[in-house]
Amino acid sequence: SYWLMIHVAVIVGSYGPFTLGMILGLVSLILMIFTNKENKEKMLINIKELTIVNEMSLTVGLVMLTIGNFLGGMWANESWGRYWGWDPKETWALISIMIYAFVIHMRLIPGLRSRWTFNLWSVVAFSSIIFTYFGVNFYLAGLHSYQSGQQVGSIKFIAIAVFIVFVIGLFSYRKYDKYFKK
């Protein structure tokens, strides 16, 4: 079915902008860590620009993922006679859409509109894409599962990744609070 090829291509294509957004968020947080009195103005300009590009990237990814999800519904209706079946992959794609919609709309909520919050959440939100791709494919059973008996990641890897993001978030917030928070 042509719906299958388009659906998969659009969804996998959306992972690129989400990955770029995660990388830009991480770079922005690292720039915050390396901010001092001498380079504050230059860092602020760089962080502003990276955050703008990050937001555009996440918006493109969200649009692509949403369109890809709808195209998947078209394919499901053609193949199985239903648009939605609450398969783990479908459900996690919807969760990813909701998470990224929240991240993009955080700037409209007064207490959440800081550059630090946006960049941190662009990094954290990427975990939903990782789980949608790897977690569902290799750990959960359903129409979209490709379980081969080999686990791709481990709890140790997840714990290390969470710890690293926590440490980067903590140190970047301290500098953000010191130099950029009004």
1 by Cβ neighbours in 10 Å (0-12 / 13-18 / 19+) ranks as exposed
pTM: 0.90
- Evaluate whether 31 touches 50 at the Cβ level (below 8 Å): yes
Q: How many domains does the chain have?
A: 1
CB contact at 8 A, 96 and 14: no
In the chain, what percentage of residues exceed pLDDT 90? Answer: 68
Task: Give the N- to C-terminal CA distance of the chain in Å, as an integer.
Answer: 55
Of the candidate ranges 43-52, 65-74, 90-99, 141-150, the one whose mean pLDDT is the lowest: 141-150
In our burial notation (b when 16+ CB lie closer than 10 A, e otherwise), range 145-154 reads: eeeeeeeeee
Min mean pLDDT across 10-14, 120-124, 141-145 is at: 141-145
- 86-97 pLDDT, tens digit per residue, is 888 889 999 999
| Structural domain boundaries enclosing 173 | 2-179
Q: Looking at residues 118-129, what average pLDDT do you find?
A: 97
pLDDT at position 58:
98
**In whole angstroms, what is the distance from residue 142 CA to residue 144 CA?**
5
